[in-house]
Amino acid sequence: MPVRILVVDDHPIVRHGLRTLLGGRPEWEIIDEAEDGIEAVEKADRLKPDVVVLDVSMPRMDGLEACRRIRKNVPKSEVLIVTQDDSPQMMREALGAGARGYIVKSDAARDLLAALEAVSQHKPFIAQNRGQVGDSE
């Protein structure tokens, strides 16, 4: 069964890029996109994706709040945070909000596939210090 993915970012050009990067794997299916946290929560409720690839900085509702709500409403949906902010604090907040994975946008091309693979199997994936990447399990 394919891994069903919801891609969330307020910039369509980034969503295009994420689609392109994820598109190489036939077992992954991008089922929809959302452009802010509210839309992400609504679509996750309705579509129940396996993984939500979630930006943090978005209008109306940010990715951290969206993550908390998605994890509460649809516990089976895992969240992979893809953010511009590579601070340890952001990483802690993302994990505290219930995200299973955390990667930095500037390294997304390098980390996204491995992160999605881990998260889709309910394993954590943390990009560490933009250079060392590890599966913390």
Partner 1 sequence: MKLRILIADDHEVVRRGLCTLLQTHEGWEVCGEAKDGREAVEKAKQVRPDVVILDVGMPNLNGLAATRQLLQQNPQQKVIVLTITDSDHVIREALDAGARGFVLKSDAARDLISAVEALQHNRMFFTPRVNDMVLAGFLDRGHNGSNGESPKLPTLTPREREVIQLLAEGKSSKEVACLLNLSTKTAETHRSNIMRKLAFTRSGI
Structure tokens at 15: 């969503």
Please tell me whether residue 11 binds partner 1 under the rule CB under 8 A.
yes
Interatomic CA distance for residues 48 and 70, integer angstroms: 9
Please tell me whether residue 130 binds partner 1 under the rule CB under 8 A.
no
Looking at the DSSP bridge assignments, the partners of residue 61 are none
Please tell me whether residue 12 binds partner 1 under the rule CB under 8 A.
yes
> Which of these segments, 36-44, 94-102, 106-114, 116-124, binds partner 1 (CB under 8 A)?
106-114
Structure tokens at 83: 């953010």
Opening angle at CA 21, ends 103 and 32, nearest 5: 90
Please tell me whether residue 17 binds partner 1 under the rule CB under 8 A.
yes
Please tell me whether residue 60 binds partner 1 under the rule CB under 8 A.
no
Which residues lie near partner 1 (CB under 8 A)?
10-21, 82, 105-106, 108-110, 112
